[in-house]
A = this chain, B = another copy of it.
Amino acid sequence: MLMNNIIDALKGAKNIAILPHVSVDGDGLGSSIALALSLKKINKEVIVYLEEEIPSVYSFLPGKALVKTFDYKKSIAGNPPHDVVVALDTGDVERMGERADIFNGARVTINIDHHHTNSEFAFYNYVLPDASATGEIIYKVIKMMGLELDFDTALCLYVAIATDTGGFRFSNTSGITHQITSDLVNNGVNVAEISQQIFDNISLAKTKLMGAAINSLELFENGKIAFISITDEMLKAAGAKDEDCDGIVNIGRSIVGVEVSFVARQKLNGEVKINLRSKNYVDVAAIASMYSGGGHKKAAGFSINKNIDILKKMLLKDIGELL
């Protein structure tokens, strides 16, 4: 059985490196630290290499002594190869960034992931697309290795699962997800404190941008379409960055009665980025595809160079026909 082969490889190794994907998130980091803490218990030399610093939102996580930001220059100076390198939550080799060197230099490589697009790039590939988070799979690995699930490990896995399921709200949340989480919570996770840390931690700039976005909000078609416009000036006034626009489209979608919400992010260079969300029945991917964009039925988008007033009128007509 593949899982047994992976456990044998881990148990047989002296030194192990763990690599989550670049721009590490709660699942990548939580899963990695949980596995590292567990392997440390059976006296492995284990280290988690990140492409970047630990994101400040996750600075409360335990096990930071086992986490290092990868230094490419130091690495090419010649580190001994690792017995085993585990890529976690990483769909393909590119998502390892410069750390692909560590991966390629390993004696044995393992790929543990839940992305259905995973390219199975390692010697052992354990990919479970039905798992809500890689944290779910690492939970199983730890259990099957016969290792104790202590407070720190449970906390890391809780953060992994809670973040990748959007707080148990996304469609990937299964009965198994809640069953595993039950065990994690029974190990002492402070649900209220951790939920606050990971979900109620918004920058002042993003908060201000949300306020400006709401000010620009318009409803059409008897409140079934919500439209928000974000300009460079709004970003500047809020002190916000482009990434702070993420999720703004949900402000419109959350309004009672709205079926389609769309946001136009207008850049000074004339480019307009359109983000579309629907609530129940409108296929916004069909609309995005008319403008050479893509996405899913309820979440899609595209970029275009067009006058915003004309574009807005066109989209209101396109959406209106599907209501």
Contact = CB atoms under 8 A, between A and B. Distances in A.
A169 B181 CA distance: 12
Given A211-B214, A217-B211, A199 B169 contact: yes
Interface in A55-97: 56
A42 interface: no
B192 A182 contact: no
Nearest to A175: B186
Nearest to A213: B211
A289 interface: no
A203 B179 CA distance: 34
Contacts of A251: 207
Interface in A172-220: 173-179, 181-183, 185-186, 190-192, 195-196, 199-204, 207-208, 210-211, 213-215, 217, 219
Contact of A191 (B56, B169, B208): B169
Number of copies: 2
A215 B211 contact: yes
A88 B218 CA distance: 42
A208 B218 CA distance: 11
A126 interface: no
Contacts of A210: 210-211, 214
Nearest to A195: B169
Interface string A87-124: 00000000000000000000000000000000000000
B214 A207 contact: yes
Contacts of A195: 168-170
A: interface residue count bin: 35 or more
A299 B259 CA distance: 35
B217 A207 contact: yes
A234 to B, nearest CB: 12
Interface in A131-179: 167-171, 173-179
Contacts of A250: 200
Contacts of A254: 200-202, 207
Contact of A178 (B178, B203, B207): B178
A276 B208 CA distance: 20
Given A167-B168, A169-B192, A182-B182, A207 B255 contact: yes
A8 to B, nearest CB: 31
A21 interface: no
A265 interface: no
A279 interface: yes
A254 B186 CA distance: 27
Nearest to A188: B175
A256 interface: yes
Given A175-B182, A177-B185, 5 more contacts: A168-B181, A200-B253, A201-B256, A204-B255, A211-B213
13 contacts: A167-B169, A168-B168, A168-B181, A173-B191, A174-B185, A175-B182, A178-B178, A204-B219, A207-B217, A210-B210, A210-B214, A211-B214, A211-B215
